[in-house]
Amino acid sequence: MATIPTPPAEPQDSPDGYVGLESDRAERLARERGWSTVRSLAPGTIITMEYRVGRLNFEVREGRVTRAWKG
């Protein structure tokens, strides 16, 4: 049987710490902390639900992060 690959570890970082930050600053900070993909989305944006290790999602309203989650 083929072995199941082990995904890389995610940064030890809490998404909640980005809420309230300006989106540009939040994106820069997330990349500095090791997130491989950072995605900013408008409220209500339709997205797929697949989980991606190393991805951090931001919901941005009026230039500020209102919600942040992994995957």
Q: Rounded CA gap, 34 and 71, in Å?
A: 14
Residues 6+ away with beta carbon under 8 Å from 55 = 35, 36, 37, 38, 39, 70, 71
- Per-residue pLDDT band at 25 (split at 50, 70, 90): very high
Compute the average pLDDT of residues 24-35.
97
CA distance 15 to 33: 11
Whether 41 contacts 23, CB under 8 Å: no
Mean pLDDT of the 5-24 span: 92
